[in-house]
Amino acid sequence: MVAGTVAKAGYFMGDRLLPPSNGNPKGYFEDYEINNINEDLLASVVPKRPIIFGKERFRHRPLRGQFWVACLPLGTQISPSPGLTRRLQQALLREPYCFKDPRFCYTLPVWRPYLSNVAFVCAFREPGATAASILKECQYAPIVLTFGHALRAWTQMYTHVLQIHRHHGDWLFLHYNQLLSKHGLKRLQLFLDAQVDGSFPEASLNRSVSSKCVPRKSWRVYEELCDLARYKVEGQRRTPLAGRSCDIGSFLS
């Protein structure tokens, strides 16, 4: 939704964007080459699925093409090959650019040395709803995810943003609901100094909901994101309904 609001603002977003789908009927605004570069960067650090007694195990671990749901610990070091570095630099030649890919939560340190005059926008929504959306997106993929696996990926990716990435550069944090308001769109416009399309966001496309309990660790990450976005969370930790807080062992074991 964020990328769609600035798609007409003159940014280069890539030569081949992912086509719309049922999950994102207005498009993903992600470029195949950017995704593939990030997939190649992550290929050496995402745990593989072992074969034990002739059977593939740990099928919740993503295969190539699905590393956007990978779960990597803090401190994971990615060492790009010279060929990958050249592809990365080539992708940044056409300025101004706007690239969107959830894999940046892990790969951003590799890109940083080659970025100039950039701003970072971190969009997020409630973790339970996001986990439900991830499960929908992966329902036909060769991966077996549970609600807990999806939450773990959400938590790890935003933990990388909060503990590592946001301390360098100019960042704007926006809750999904803020993009549905004129005030939120105005903040985005002022931050980027670019025209945004206020007609792009549609509340009717917010179709993923969850009534499942969310572990405390995930909820704390969500609360920190909300603080940075200046988005008020009202009383949501007091009840187990609608994706609220619960014990971490329920989902992240």
- Is pLDDT above 80 for 241? no
What kind of fold does domain 2-250 have according to CATH?
Rossmann fold (3.40.50)
What percentage of the chain reaches a pLDDT higher than 70?
A: 92
Which one, of 218, 123, 251, 236, lies nearest residue 178 by Cα?
A: 123
Residue with tokens 């997939």: 39
Tokens standing for residue 187: 């903040």
Which burial class, exposed, middle or buried, applies to 173 when counting CB atoms under 10 A from its CB (0-12, 13-18, 19+)? buried
On average, the pLDDT of the chain sits at 91
Averaged over 1-11, what is the pLDDT? 96
pLDDT digits (tens, 9 = 90+) for 196-232: 999 999 988 887 888 898 999 999 999 999 999 999 9
What percentage of the chain reaches a pLDDT higher than 90?
A: 85
Whole-number Å distance between alpha carbons of 143 and 66 = 8
Give the pLDDT of residue 210. Answer: 86
Whole-number Å distance between alpha carbons of 221 and 1 = 21
pLDDT digits (tens, 9 = 90+) for 93-130: 999 999 999 999 999 999 999 999 999 999 999 999 99
Write down the domain spans for the chain: 2-250
Averaged over 76-92, what is the pLDDT? 97
Number of alpha helices (DSSP H) and beta strands (DSSP E) in the chain: 8, 6
CA 135 to chain centre: 14
| DSSP β-bridge partners for residue 131 | none
44-58, 95-109, 161-175, 225-239: which has the minimum mean pLDDT? 225-239
Going by pLDDT thresholds of 50, 70 and 90, the confidence category of residue 171 is very high
Going by pLDDT thresholds of 50, 70 and 90, the confidence category of residue 234 is low
Whole-number Å distance between alpha carbons of 59 and 50 = 9
